[in-house]
Structure 1
Amino acid sequence: MNHIKIVVVIFFSITSCAYYNTFFNAEENYRAGLEKKENNTQDKIPADVIKHFDASIAKSWKVIDFYGDSSSWADDALFLIGKSYYQLEEYDKSQEILEQFLQKYLRSDLIPEAELWLAKTYLKREDNEQALLKFRSMISKTENDEIRAEAYLNMGELFFLSGEYEEAISNFTECINATSNSETAGRAQYKLADSYYQLDDYQTAIESYEEVLGYDLPIIKQYDSIIQMVNSLIELGNYERAEEILKTTLRDQRFKKHFSMIATKLANMIELQGDSNFAVENYNEVINTYPRTNGSALANFYIAQIYEFEFGWLDSAKIKYDQVKKQFSKSESAEEAVKRSKILADYIKIKKQLNKDRDDMFNLAHGDSNLVDSLVTGTDTLVVDQTDTTRSEANFGQAMQIANIANLKAEEDSLKIVTPKIKEKKIAVSRKPEVVEASLLKNDFRIAEFFLLNYQHYDSAKASYFHFVENHSDSLLTPKAYFSLYYIFKDIDGDSLTADSLKNIIIQNYPNTIYGKKLSGIETEELKSDNSNISKTMFLEAENLVDEQKFIDAINVFNEVAINDSGSVWATKSRYASAYIYENYLEDINNALESYRVLAKEYPQSEQGKIAKNKIAEPPEEKIEPAPSDSTQSLNTLTPDSTLAKPDVLPQNDENPIND
């Protein structure tokens, strides 16, 4: 009998040990995944982090399946599953598991923590009202200071995201006072500093960010605090102190992983102070010192921005944009760099053909004795409007002349002015004169259309259209060019005087064109029918481009419809379609808001115009009510409708811009 008792004891001891080991391994995987996630700098969860949390879930289920859901640690295992799903950002599954936990284990010691995590899932799923009720209930009924501190922290984050920074500060302060956990206090201190930063109280923000460094936080959070401290100092104009902090950090081996970004920030500070030439030198030094890093990718992006928007070197800018993804494919600037490169590639293609046309025209006009490779440039130079930019003035004609040199190499891109050599070798013009003239006319117009529709740089568009009408006064495209100028001055610049002058030119010189008739108020049924058919055809072409996921090309066609047939229903639909694509497909918030503003201004009484007004309207001043589904949280944050979540195809309903 004693032998039987011994066997039973041994059996249960082995079983208990196996049980403990399985759950221990589940917890270890959870901790390892959490540590790696906290130090992750990318938007996506890394594969090895996912692997840890998946293992934690699998091993926890093993405990429950093998030993039963009434075993002593079954509640621990189920709670760990809920937390693991939360860390995997699968909040619906996390909520389901946590609610199941609270219904099943009514006497578990883990109930307060489970309620806290359930409230956090509400917050992540944007059920703010339910989350707030849960957090407040926990604060009032629990005696556990750490649970209360976590509730205050999460409530602070809720208020922070809602833009209620004073309320956020109050809750973050309560969290710091309630907790004895250094990590929890440090997280609250960081968000407290962020709140002061958002309120433009930069001095208090600096002091708060400095306090963050005294807490036991991951290196990435300490690094973020230093960068935000530097940003606050920059806002106060204290570049000297900001530089001192960055250089000190650059010598601290704890931040070695971030050295390239710190060096890029130092170069960026030089640019912010107005010395773009020296900034480019420093950006290039970052690229050479820290190749294939996040910092070198961002340095290339910043150089590209200077080349494009300050110097007007569009060829050189494209080369630098292309380098961003090559340097570091996961860079936050990579997506925008690819987008800018594609736009500039379209420009370079047109410009290359246009330069050939001009060279051939020059050679045809001067005969064989003057057949040389020409460096003639026309009006296809980016015109920088100093009212729209804070960058210093530059000689844009000279800049573009440099950028047009054939076979420009990335490593040769610098701010040194290169004197082009004229080749002595004669070349023949293979095309017939009439072919060259037709091509020149077409490409002169294409470059103007590019600046208006693709690039949306209206000063350059105006210069290009004026060049076109001066050099091609008898072309079939001339009235369209004048009408485009009329549109820019009237609807973009608000210059009614110049717009009226252009209107008179169109009416007097081109009375029988659709533009002349339209501006004269002659809306015959035939004209309406012609316009409608053309616009509808173009609209359907744009629809097809959307189906092919060629969103930028689709927007260009929609914009052309809106400009050329502004009084039609197709123009209204096109304006809305462009804004819709920016919001839901490209997720380009700034362009979406701008497109909605144009729509609301041009067609305020239309259904699409009313939707646009809601999109750009400031939210009502309500405490914690979630934002309406078709409004924005602020003028700078566009929240897609729940019914307008990015689909595979545009929904076919009355609010959808792409339908008949």
Structure 2
Amino acid sequence: MPKNHIYTLARKWIPVAGLIFISCANFKAYFNTFYNAEEFFEKAEKIRLQNRGEKIPQSAINDYEKVIEKSRFVMDEYPDFKLRKKAFILIVQSHFYRGELREAMGTLGELKNEFGDKVYVEVEFWTSLVKWKQNKPQPAINGLNELINFSLNVDMEAKVYLAIAEIFLEQKMYSEAMDNLEKSAERIQDQNEKGQIYYRIAELSFDAKSYDRALSGYQEVIKNSQSKKQIQEGNLKTVQIYRLKGNLDLATNSIKNMLLDDNYKTIFPNLELELAKLYDQQNMISESRNRLASIVQDYPKTTVSAEAYYMLGNYSIEQDWDMEDALKQYSSVVKENKQSLYAQPAQVRIKEINTYQQSKLDLESWSLRIAESDTIADFHFTEDEQNELAKNLYSLTELEAFHFDRSDTGLVYLDLLIQYAYQSKLFPKALYAKSVILEDKGELSLSKLLKQRIVNEFPKTDFALAIINKDKSYKIMTSTSDEKLVTAERKWSDNPALAMDGYREIVIEDTVSESSAQAAYFLAYQYDYHFVKPDSALKYYEWILKHHSDSYQAEPSGKRAAFLNSVFVDTSETNDY
């Protein structure tokens, strides 16, 4: 072929080749940019799914922003981009999860204008979710339910059920939420997404003590989740459920097998703790304590060792009645791990033990006087002494019977209170506490006698009212202070003078119930600020301090009484001058 002919052909093809090269370069540029957008979206979604039910982490929020930027760049620079529909939907989702609802709706409008009925499902789905986030849950649910009747593919149907479940969860409608979560999990194809949904089902069911459903959910988590942490937690929760359901042999064997497998090494401390709880449940106290002792040695400064110390503290009280050792164990909880769920309960226990020990010391002097009183005919303590003694004895009763589960010892202190402090403010409360303890112990006839005594002798107390509300067979012949208080409150707007008489009647007749404290404070306040009679106001403030020193009204009454007394002193000094 002549050289000039070859040259002519080459000149013709060079521009075409250039165009092809430029086109390929452009394709590569926008393809890479959009590919990056999809990568950022997948990364953000993985983080969001792992934190579902909680606030979306900032790293995911930042990745969603990159999705929006890169997708917009591709669509703006390359209008003929063939994946525009997918890019629009990525932008909508990213705006939604960033909480940018107006921008999400704007993008949905663009999507609908460009693709029309082809994107009906996507537009309706995300519009419903935006309504949900705009505090319109019912319209959102209605829109999603309408989509269910549409011909959806399996994945989209799963997403719709999942969205409905999320809305129900936010509304605390747990039964409806669980039904929709299960429908979603059954349909969804993506294995990781399936694992995440079953994890939520399992967690919610476990918290609700629906252990069969929780067990089934955790088994699906183990099968489907790509999160090692969730799989390990699924195994741990499974043995916990076996224990809680009483399948102790199965739980024990499962734990021992896992402890022999290094694949479960990250949850070895938790498995050891579960084994200690299993021994406790089977009353194998020695084995449980030995296991707990090894936990605090082998896994120090962890939430597990903190819980182990708390359990050891409980054993020191329940098994040994050794308060000093219990204090030592409970004090170790916070030292081990401040974030432990048992840090606060341990502090409460420490406070209870300190209070108990101080009350025991205070009781020593009273015990001597009680012993001496047995040799004196017709001996009784003064009213102030009885109130002080009753306070000491009731503190010990409450701790022994209701905190340390030693009701028999609690009854001993109650009997001392009833015998030697029968004129104290706490006397009706002591009778009521004894009736409750006896009822719990199955001594119903004795409990009933005490309740009847409270109703007969202290009909205006809150204890009598509680007894009657629980059992209508108990009757009070006279109207209670509660009823009189309601009557006085109703009269106040129409006839204040008559209402004030009603409040005064309560205070005259009743020095015990909470209603009398409320009535007295109302009288004091009205005399103080409405009628401007400071001497009358002071009278009722001081009445509260005398008869209801531990009430809610005592603190403001004390402050106001101190102020009024100071005013009276200043006025007196001025007059003398």
TM > 0.5 fold call: yes
Relative distance call for 1:539 and 1:322 in structure 2 (3 A) is: farther
Identical positions, percent: 17
Structure 1 Cα separation of the partners of residues 520 and 36 of structure 2: 63
Please give the per-residue CA displacement for 1:442-462, whole angstroms capped at 9, x wherever unaligned: 761562586599969895766
1:101 aligns with 2:49: no
Structure 1 Cα separation of the partners of residues 414 and 161 of structure 2: 59
Q: Which residue number in structure 1 is paired with residue 62 of structure 2?
A: 55
Larger helix fraction of residues: 2
Q: Which residue number in structure 2 is paired with residue 480 of structure 1?
A: 425
Out of 214, 228, 238, the position equivalent to 1:219 is 228
The one-letter code sitting in structure 1 at the alignment partner of 2:108 is L
The one-letter code sitting in structure 2 at the alignment partner of 1:483 is P
Q: Which residue number in structure 2 is paired with residue 467 of structure 1?
A: 416
Q: CA deviation at 1:56?
A: 1.5
Structure 2 Cα separation of the partners of residues 237 and 44 of structure 1: 32
Out of 297, 300, 325, the position equivalent to 1:288 is 297
Structure 2 Cα separation of the partners of residues 199 and 27 of structure 1: 38
The one-letter code sitting in structure 2 at the alignment partner of 1:288 is Q
Relative distance call for 1:469 and 1:263 in structure 2 (3 A) is: same
Relative distance call for 1:174 and 1:365 in structure 2 (3 A) is: closer
Please give the per-residue CA displacement for 1:140-177, whole angstroms capped at 9, x wherever unaligned: 32443211233345556778974548x9569736753x
1:136 aligns with 2:145: yes
Matches of residues 505-524 of structure 1 in structure 2 within 5 Å? none
Relative distance call for 1:290 and 1:535 in structure 2 (3 A) is: same
Q: CA deviation at 1:212?
A: 4.7
Q: Which residue number in structure 1 is paired with residue 533 of structure 2?
A: none
The one-letter code sitting in structure 2 at the alignment partner of 1:498 is L
Q: CA deviation at 1:484?
A: 0.9
Matches of residues 72-83 of structure 1 in structure 2 within 5 Å? 79-80=89-90, 83=93
Please give the per-residue CA displacement for 1:436-486, whole angstroms capped at 9, x wherever unaligned: x8997376156258659996989576654433344556xxxx431211124
The structure whose RCO (Cα within 8 Å, separation 6+) is larger is 1
Relative distance call for 1:82 and 1:246 in structure 2 (3 A) is: farther
1:172 aligns with 2:182: yes
Q: CA deviation at 1:520?
A: 8.4
Matches of residues 354-369 of structure 1 in structure 2 within 5 Å? 354-358=359-363
The one-letter code sitting in structure 2 at the alignment partner of 1:444 is N
Q: Which residue number in structure 1 is paired with residue 282 of structure 2?
A: 273
**Which stretch of structure 1 is more off in the superposition, 461-470 or 254-263?**
461-470
Q: Residues 41 and 67 of structure 2 are in contact (CA less than 8 Å); yes or no, is this contact kept in structure 1?
A: no
Out of 450, 457, 477, the position equivalent to 1:498 is 450
Q: Residues 185 and 194 of structure 2 are in contact (CA less than 8 Å); yes or no, is this contact kept in structure 1?
A: yes
Q: CA deviation at 1:318?
A: 5.7
The one-letter code sitting in structure 2 at the alignment partner of 1:270 is Y
Q: Residues 504 and 519 of structure 2 are in contact (CA less than 8 Å); yes or no, is this contact kept in structure 1?
A: no
Structure 1 Cα separation of the partners of residues 226 and 337 of structure 2: 27
Name the SS for the 2:57 alignment partner: helix
Please give the per-residue CA displacement for 1:358-408, whole angstroms capped at 9, x wherever unaligned: 456789999xxxxxxxxxxxxxxxxxxxxxxxxxxxxxxxxxxxxxxxxxx
Query: How many positions carry a matched residue from both structures?
Result: 446
The one-letter code sitting in structure 2 at the alignment partner of 1:54 is I
Matches of residues 256-271 of structure 1 in structure 2 within 5 Å? 256-271=265-280
Matches of residues 438-449 of structure 1 in structure 2 within 5 Å? 441=389, 444-445=392-393, 447=395
Q: Residues 155 and 168 of structure 1 are in contact (CA less than 8 Å); yes or no, is this contact kept in structure 2?
A: no
Q: Which residue number in structure 1 is paired with residue 349 of structure 2?
A: 344
Q: Which residue number in structure 2 is paired with residue 183 of structure 1?
A: 192
Q: CA deviation at 1:264?
A: 1.6
Q: Residues 267 and 279 of structure 1 are in contact (CA less than 8 Å); yes or no, is this contact kept in structure 2?
A: yes
TM-score scaled by length of structure 1: 0.51
Structure 2 Cα separation of the partners of residues 269 and 330 of structure 1: 25
Q: Which residue number in structure 1 is paired with residue 253 of structure 2?
A: 244
TM-score scaled by length of structure 2: 0.57
Relative distance call for 1:194 and 1:534 in structure 2 (3 A) is: closer
Structure 1 Cα separation of the partners of residues 266 and 44 of structure 2: 20
Name the SS for the 1:480 alignment partner: coil
Q: Which residue number in structure 2 is paired with residue 528 of structure 1?
A: 506
Q: Residues 92 and 108 of structure 2 are in contact (CA less than 8 Å); yes or no, is this contact kept in structure 1?
A: no
The one-letter code sitting in structure 2 at the alignment partner of 1:146 is D
Relative distance call for 1:533 and 1:198 in structure 2 (3 A) is: closer
Larger gyration radius, structure 1 or structure 2: 2
The one-letter code sitting in structure 2 at the alignment partner of 1:215 is N
Relative distance call for 1:467 and 1:212 in structure 2 (3 A) is: same
Q: CA deviation at 1:330?
A: 3.9
Structure 2 Cα separation of the partners of residues 538 and 22 of structure 1: 73
Unaligned runs of 5+ in 1: 367-433, 508-517, 541-560, 571-660
The one-letter code sitting in structure 1 at the alignment partner of 2:239 is V
Please give the per-residue CA displacement for 1:301-348, whole angstroms capped at 9, x wherever unaligned: 4445555677766665565455444434444x24xx41x344334433
Q: CA deviation at 1:218?
A: 1.9
